[in-house]
């Protein structure tokens, strides 16, 4: 689950993020045994309504899918955000966002060079649900070698 804006994700990244986020929603609703300890869930569990927060996150992904002409089934969002009750904002550290940006660039150079080239000319920004705060990579992030 990326903190980056969905418009920055390549096709494979956007679809994978949608699927992973739907699984996260199931975990937070207690509907699955797997994936329960995934580090990305930490930030959603900290919210007053974790399922609604994941719903808002999924809605951001669905909006990007719509913009690209993809069809993501919004009926799968358990608690979609409503105009009457906007979702609670979440934070992401600048270090986390930078870390994810570097990771996305490495992924796209390997699997979609045209998309990677596009990314080199844009600034990275967060998913619409997130506000950026100063800080290092999040403590829950697993940094590989």
The string of DSSP codes covering 74-120 is GGG-SS---SSSPPPPEEEEHHHHHHHHHHHHHHHHHH-HHHHHHHT
* 99-118 residues labelled b (16+ CB within 10 A) or e (exposed): bbbeebeebbeeebeebbee
Give 7's pLDDT tier (boundaries 50, 70, 90): very high
Identify whether 125 is part of a domain: yes
Task: Answer yes or no: are the C-beta atoms of 130 and 3 closer than 8 Å.
Answer: yes
Give 78's pLDDT tier (boundaries 50, 70, 90): confident
Which tokens in the block code for residue 27?
């975990």
pLDDT beyond 60 at 123: yes
pLDDT beyond 80 at 21: yes
Give 86's pLDDT tier (boundaries 50, 70, 90): low
Which tokens in the block code for residue 132?
């950026």
- How many distinct structural domains can be found in the chain? 1
Identify whether 139 is part of a domain: no
Domain with 62 in it? 6-133
Identify whether 48 is part of a domain: yes
Identify whether 22 is part of a domain: yes
Identify whether 117 is part of a domain: yes
Give pLDDT, residue 88: 80
Identify whether 1 is part of a domain: no
């Amino acid at each position: 689950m990326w903190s980056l804006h969905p418009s920055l994700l390549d096709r494979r990244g956007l679809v994978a993020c949608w699927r992973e986020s739907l699984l996260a929603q199931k975990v937070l609703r207690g509907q699955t045994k797997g994936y329960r300890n995934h580090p990305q869930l930490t930030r959603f569990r900290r919210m007053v309504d974790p399922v609604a927060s994941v719903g808002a996150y999924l809605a951001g992904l669905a909006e990007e899918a719509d913009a690209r002409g993809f069809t993501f089934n919004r009926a799968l969002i358990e608690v979609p955000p409503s105009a009457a009750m906007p979702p609670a904002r979440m934070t992401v550290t600048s270090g986390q966002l930078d870390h994810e940006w570097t990771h996305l660039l490495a992924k796209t150079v390997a699997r979609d060079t045209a998309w990677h080239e596009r990314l080199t000319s844009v600034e990275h920004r967060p998913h619409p649900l997130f506000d950026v705060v100063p800080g290092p990579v999040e403590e829950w992030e697993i940094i590989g070698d």
